[in-house]
Structure 1
Amino acid sequence: MPTAKKRARTYDPVKTRAAVFAQLGNVRDAVRTLSDEQLALPTRLGEWTVRELVAHIGMAVTAVHRSLDRPAPPAQDVVILDWPFATAASSSAIADFTRKLAAQHPDLDAYLADVEQTLTGHLDTHPGTRLLETNAGALPLADYLVTRTVELVVHTDDLNAAVPGLDIPYDRQALAACTRLLADALAVKAPGASTEVRIPPYAVVQCVEGPRHTRGTPPNVVETDPLTWLRLATGRTRWKDAVEEAKVSASGERSDLGGLLPVMG
């Protein structure tokens, strides 16, 4: 796992909380409209159906609940930028838990409403500095909540891909936090300053070893939109395909990021 040595970007906890609830609300509004036939549709996540994907979204949010039910660890031992690299390790257990949740909660709207209500109570009760034992290590609640924007936004995109015409909107602040965290993870995975990755309007990062750029137009530039970026960063889209479809512009001999993606499993 790459080590996040650089100082992590800071996130406004008030905006993060609002973003999590806004995106969860967007998902809930869409789930209410889904028919049994739509809930049975396949997704791009292996064998998961739409029903199981929705259950997983609720599970991703209740990771906060489960962590708060455990004793606080004695000290923080990771930073937020360690989290993207720790997600793949528990994928098998997550899949099993997701299937059980989907079977236990036939009324998905009621399930998500309960998730939302319980999260509100937890965040009203616990300070953002409260340490949680997470899959990545011990993190403050405020930082871990930022990672929930990634789960919500990425899986919103999965739902939109699975159900034609669903078009769940993306909360701007949630999309911004997701984009920035995954862009910063790339800079951790490939430290350097020879390549500039631009994801307007949310993020610009320097990465990849090589000659450091100091002034004028950088010699190696990659630019894409936020949704394409999150698909690349999580393996939903291949670098080669995105370039061929003109969803990414890449110039310079160090602008090929194909070998560095995805950054999150």
Structure 2
Amino acid sequence: MTSYEHFAEAAHAYADLVAQIRPDQWDSPGLGVWDLRALVGHGARALITVDTYLDRPAAEVVLDGPVAYLTSVGASGNSAGGDPGAVAERGRQAGASLGADPAAAVRVLVERVLPRVERAGDPVIETIGGGMRLSDYLPTRTFELVVHGLDVARASGQPPSALGEEVLDEVTVLAASAAVRHGGGAVLLAALTGRAPLPEDFSVV
């Protein structure tokens, strides 16, 4: 499967998950400072940013792959993309922009963005972290859709989406590679092999 196919599978799974949220759940706790609406909005930004960046060609490649993206704009705060306050506010705004029927709004995003990506080829796009190939950016969006899909499922009392092994392999390998790049490879390996638990604040983003 290609990075586009992984992205499409994760996007459809996310939309299907959001469609099962009950009307009385949108103001309930989501994740951290977010209610469920803001959490869903934040996850939907994985689609919104692709839609936006397709209209922003970059002159050169600055980030050479998805691992470079995650480690440059993650929780380390190396850019505006990693500032926790800015991330929280973008999530709230994205949730509000979903309107009266958030599930329908997410489905519309999926139906608009996927054909655009399929037609686009592999341009160099300007992301919040710098120029990179679309094919390298998409795995970071698949990662966001899958991880926040798990968050949405947990917050809304649903089972996780039934994703294919290839998609789960892509996002898990990406997370592990980001941990190594952050200097946490040995800690993660010890946890994965049952040697030691992960530290409470351990994260690759």
TM-score (normalised: structure 1): 0.65
Q: In the alignment, which residue of structure 2 is the partner of 1:52? A: 38
Q: Which has the higher helix share?
A: 2
Report the number of matched residues. Answer: 195
Could you tell me which runs of 5 or more consecutive residues in structure 2 were left unpaired when the two chains were aligned: none
Q: 1:136 aligns with which of 114, 118, 129?
A: 129
Could you tell me which runs of 5 or more consecutive residues in structure 1 were left unpaired when the two chains were aligned: 1-13, 199-220, 225-248
The separation in 2 between residues aligned to 1:151 and 1:109, in whole angstroms, is: 17
Q: In the alignment, which residue of structure 2 is the partner of 1:214? A: none
8 A contact 1:190–1:260 mirrored in 2: no
Tell me the secondary structure at the aligned position of residue 139 of structure 1.
Answer: strand
Give 1:34's aligned amino acid.
I
1:150 matched to 2:143: yes
Give runs of ≥4 in structure 1 deviating > 6 Å. none
Cα distance change on mapping 1:31 and 1:262 into 2, 3 Å: closer
How much has 1:176 moved relative to structure 2? 1.3
1:30 matched to 2:20: no
Q: In the alignment, which residue of structure 2 is the partner of 1:261? A: 202
Q: In the alignment, which residue of structure 2 is the partner of 1:179? A: 172
Q: In the alignment, which residue of structure 2 is the partner of 1:189? A: 182
Alignment of 1:59-208 (within 5 A): 59-70=45-56, 72-80=57-65, 81-85=67-71, 86-88=73-75, 89=77, 90=81, 91-104=84-97, 105-128=99-122, 130-164=123-157, 166-172=158-164, 173-190=166-183, 195=186
Bigger Cα Rg? 1
The separation in 1 between residues aligned to 2:42 and 2:18, in whole angstroms, is: 13
How much has 1:113 moved relative to structure 2? 1.7
Cα distance change on mapping 1:18 and 1:124 into 2, 3 Å: closer
- Give the percent of matched residue pairs that are identical in Structure 1 and Structure 2: 25
Larger RCO: Structure 1 or Structure 2 (Cα < 8 Å, ≥ 6 residues apart)?
2
8 A contact 1:87–1:136 mirrored in 2: no
